[in-house]
């Protein structure tokens, strides 16, 4: 008897209980899905580890730096970029994480009336370039960089201030070298063992963090980030945006961003807060969407010698968002 092709039978001829076979279309769909997934993974890996966006900011000539005068000091660690003005007791302002000396533009002039003010880009920030290619971008490395810069410019002791990441670096330096820090100002600072926002936490994911950081260097994206941190969005002018954006396109700074997010261990700084005796000013924007304002009070509760000022109508970068009150509080604190 001739064999019967089950797939050629009509529904009437097919024995009851035996459904029509649809294996081939399902297999084709599965293969297509796997191919699409493989292509997507390959694209992510290529973007994360091979592709590099153009360093579009390299051609930018900063009007701000032209007006204040860039300085450089070479060390085996890095060629540090900084600005300096004024005379009197030294104050060192660490560029906010992810940006450059422009982050203290309004405080530089105000504080230099009474002090010798240095604003420095640490490795992975602004216009500083690394010599040490094995630099770790962890808490030890960043605090060592603070000391290296101070040594290079001949500053044995200084008042120290930082915003966001750089507040955490200033805090860690004061904890390791209390004899070198006269006063400490923390503006919406990291340093507590708490999770960051979803956006920042996502940078810890391998491949995704690399690709996301590279894709965030477009000027429109940087504008969105800047405006998202600030309440007074009219302060994000086109001129200011160019200053903020340009060094964010540098490949070394892009790499530093996701490595710092993965390697900075704030559990160490929080554990040391009860024994951190440096007089500390905690300045915080009430409307901070990156480091919520309750963290200011947690710092104050754990630090033995701290005073807190909460600034209404200010976001994560209060020195840019609300320069008037920030300058007032910093001048009074450093004068003490």
**DSSP output for 221-288:** HHHHHHHHH-S-GGG--HHHHHHHHGGGGSHHHHHHHHHHHHH--HHHHHHHGGG--S-EEEEEETT-
Higher pLDDT, 1 or 321: 321
- Among 224, 194, 204, smallest CA distance to 294 is for 194
The answer to whether residue 43 sits within a structural domain is no
Q: pLDDT band for position 28 (50/70/90)?
A: confident
Q: Is residue 21 part of a domain?
A: no
Contacting residues for 25 by C-beta, under 8 A, at least 6 apart = none
Strands 90-94 and 71-74: unpaired
- Classify residue 54: in a domain, yes or no: no
In a domain? residue 9: no
**Pairing mode, strands 181-187 and 280-285:** parallel
Contact 145, 123 (CB under 8 A): yes
In-domain check, residue 306: yes
Query: What angle do the packed helices 165-176 and 139-152 form, to 10 degrees?
Result: 70
Q: How far apart are CA 57 and CA 255, in angstroms?
A: 16
258, 210 contact by CB (below 8 A): yes
Number of domains in the chain: 1
Helices (H), the chain: 23-49, 63-68, 105-111, 139-152, 165-176, 198-202, 208-215, 219-229, 238-245, 251-263, 266-272, 294-302, 318-321, 323-335
**Surface-to-core class of residue 243, CB atoms within 10 Å of its CB (0-12 exposed, 13-18 middle, 19+ buried):** buried
Residue 49 in any domain: the answer is no
pLDDT, tens only, 38-73: 888 888 898 889 999 999 999 999 999 999 999 999
The answer to whether 182 touches 330, Cβ cutoff 8 Å, is: no
As a whole number, the mean pLDDT across the chain is 93
**Which among 319, 162, 166 has a CA at the least distance from the CA of 230?**
319
Task: Between 34 and 275, name the one with better pLDDT.
Answer: 275
**Phi/psi-derived region of residue 79, left when phi > 0, alpha when psi is between -120 and 50, beta in every other case:** beta
Going by pLDDT thresholds of 50, 70 and 90, the confidence category of residue 22 is: low
Cα 240 from chain centroid (whole Å): 18
Instruction: Please write the tens of the pLDDT for every residue from 203-218.
Output: 999 999 999 999 999 9
Helix (H) or strand (E) holding 116: strand 116-121
Report yes or no on 112 lying in a domain.
yes
Torsion of CA 297, 299, 304, 307, to 10 degrees: -60
| CA gap 142, 130 in Å, rounded | 12
First-to-final CA distance of the chain: 107
Q: What is the pLDDT of residues 97-145, one digit of tens each?
A: 889 999 999 999 999 999 999 999 999 999 999 999 999 999 999 999 9
The domain that holds 118 is classified in CATH as 3.40.50.1820
User: What backbone phi and psi angles, to 5 degrees, belong to 55?
Assistant: -80, 70
pLDDT at 36: 85
The radius of gyration of the chain's CA atoms, rounded to the nearest angstrom, is 26
**Domain extent at residue 91:** 72-335
pLDDT band at 20 (very low <50, low <70, confident <90, very high): low
In a domain, 293, yes or no: yes
Lookup: tokens for 122:
């640490």
């Amino acid at each position: 008897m001739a064999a019967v092709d089950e797939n050629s039978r009509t529904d009437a001829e097919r024995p009851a209980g035996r459904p029509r076979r649809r294996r081939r279309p399902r297999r084709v769909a599965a293969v297509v899905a796997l191919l699409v997934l493989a292509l997507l993974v390959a694209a992510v890996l290529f973007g994360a580890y091979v592709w590099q966006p153009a360093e579009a900011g390299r051609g930018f000539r900063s009007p701000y730096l032209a007006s204040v005068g860039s300085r450089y000091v070479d060390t085996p660690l890095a060629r540090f970029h900084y600005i300096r003005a004024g005379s009197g007791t030294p104050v060192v302002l660490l560029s906010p994480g992810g940006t450059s000396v422009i982050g203290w533009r309004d405080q530089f002039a105000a504080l230099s009336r009474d002090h010798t003010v240095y604003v420095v880009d640490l490795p992975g920030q602004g216009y500083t370039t690394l010599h040490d290619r094995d630099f770790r971008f962890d808490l030890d490395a960043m605090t060592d960089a603070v000391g290296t810069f101070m040594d290079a410019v001949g500053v044995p002791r200084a008042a120290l201030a930082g915003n966001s990441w750089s507040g955490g670096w200033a805090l860690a330096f004061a904890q390791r070298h209390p004899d070198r820090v006269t006063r400490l100002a923390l503006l919406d600072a990291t340093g507590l063992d708490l999770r960051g926002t979803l956006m920042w936490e996502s940078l810890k994911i391998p491949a995704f963090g690399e690709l996301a950081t590279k894709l965030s260097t477009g000027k429109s994206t940087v504008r969105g980030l800047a405006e998202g941190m600030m309440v007074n969005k009219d302060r994000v002018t086109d001129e200011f945006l160019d200053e903020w954006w340009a060094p964010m396109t540098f490949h070394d700074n892009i790499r530093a961003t996701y490595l710092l997010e993965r390697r900075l261990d704030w559990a160490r700084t929080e554990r040391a807060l009860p024994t951190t005796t440096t007089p500390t000013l905690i300045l915080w924007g009430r409307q901070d969407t990156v480091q919520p304002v309750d963290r200011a009070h947690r710092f104050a509760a754990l630090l033995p010698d701290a005073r807190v000022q909460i600034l209404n109508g200010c976001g994560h970068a209060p020195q840019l968002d609300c320069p008037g009150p920030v300058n007032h509080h910093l001048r009074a604190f450093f004068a003490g």
